[in-house]
Amino acid sequence: RLLVRTLEWEDRDRNDSLLLRGVELSEGEQLLAQSDKEPRLTAAQRQYILASRQGAIKRQRIILGAVTLGLVIAVVLAIVALVQSRIADERRIEADNARSTAVREKDRAEEAEALAEIRRQRAQDAEATAQAERELAIRESQISLAKSLAALSLPIVERTNNTELAALLSVE
């Protein structure tokens, strides 16, 4: 069987797809290790077994390289995910801080609005008080004027004997 496979391999220009693999390669290597026993392997058979081992090593290296590359990619992706997670956490914290700041600013604005309303009410109250005091002052001034005019009516009657003028001043 080994001889047939060796001939087929040589006929097809040593095509790698025809190399021994798995159990067949192990059996061929055992035969190669027993080179002092009969039947002896031909040079072509030895080359075929060695080429099969080299192909197996090459496949193992490719598989190992692919697994290593996959592992490197997985590690890089894990690092990227970790960095993205930290960035997301930082942005979430920034958003929470901004939200807290906005709530504080809103509260301050509401407090300022309430304070402004209180001041507006006080100003209206002060204006109303001032208006009442103005009206009271005007009324007191009018009363004082009326008393002065009434007080002048008696001396006018005594000096000029003008009772009509004195009566008008008293009425005024």
Q: What is the pLDDT of residue 39?
A: 75
Q: What is the pLDDT of residue 117?
A: 96
Determine whether 46 is exposed, middle or buried from the number of CB atoms within 10 Å of its CB (0-12, 13-18, 19+): middle
Tens of pLDDT, residues 154-170: 888 888 888 888 888 77
Q: What is the pLDDT of residue 45?
A: 86
Tens of pLDDT, residues 34-47: 877 777 888 888 89
> Does residue 123 carry a pLDDT above 90?
yes
